[in-house]
Amino acid sequence: MTGFGSGTYSNENLQVTIEIKAVNQRFLELSIRMPHAYLVLEDRIRNELKSVLHRGKVDVYVTVAELLCKEPQIRIDSANLTDCKYALDKVNEELFHEKTTLSQIISLTKDWFIQEPPKIDADDCWPVFFVALQASLNRVVQMREAEGLNIKKDLLLRADKIENIVHSIAERKDDIAAHYESRLRKRIISMFNEIKAVPDEERLLQEVAMYADKVDFTEEVVRFRSHVVQLRRILEENGDIGRQLDFLIQELNRETNTIGSKAADLDVTEYVLQLKNEIEKIREQIQNIE
Q: Is the pTM of this model over 0.75?
A: no
Residue 59's pLDDT is 95
If you count DSSP H runs as helices and E runs as strands, how many of each does the chain have, helices first?
Answer: 9, 6
286: nearest Cα among 248, 233, 252? 248
Residue 120's pLDDT is 79
Residue 264's pLDDT is 74
213: nearest Cα among 262, 257, 254, 149? 262
Angle (CA) 115 120 121, round 5°? 145
Residue 1's pLDDT is 67
Residue 76's pLDDT is 78
Residue 208's pLDDT is 62
Give the tens place of pLDDT for each residue, 124-171.
Answer: 899 999 999 999 999 999 998 888 888 889 999 999 999 999 999 888
Q: What share of the chain is helix, strand, coil (3-state, %, to 5)?
A: 65, 15, 20
**Rg of the chain's alpha carbons, rounded to an integer?**
37
* Amino acid of residue 150: N
Residue 129's pLDDT is 96
Per-residue pLDDT of the chain (290 residues; tens, 9 = 90+): 688 999 999 998 899 999 999 988 878 899 999 998 899 999 999 999 999 988 889 999 999 988 666 666 677 778 887 888 888 888 887 777 788 887 887 887 777 777 666 677 889 899 999 999 999 999 999 998 888 888 889 999 999 999 999 999 888 877 776 776 666 666 666 666 666 665 566 766 676 666 666 767 888 889 999 999 999 999 888 777 878 888 899 999 999 998 888 877 788 889 999 999 999 999 888 876 76
Residue 155's pLDDT is 92
Residue 93's pLDDT is 79
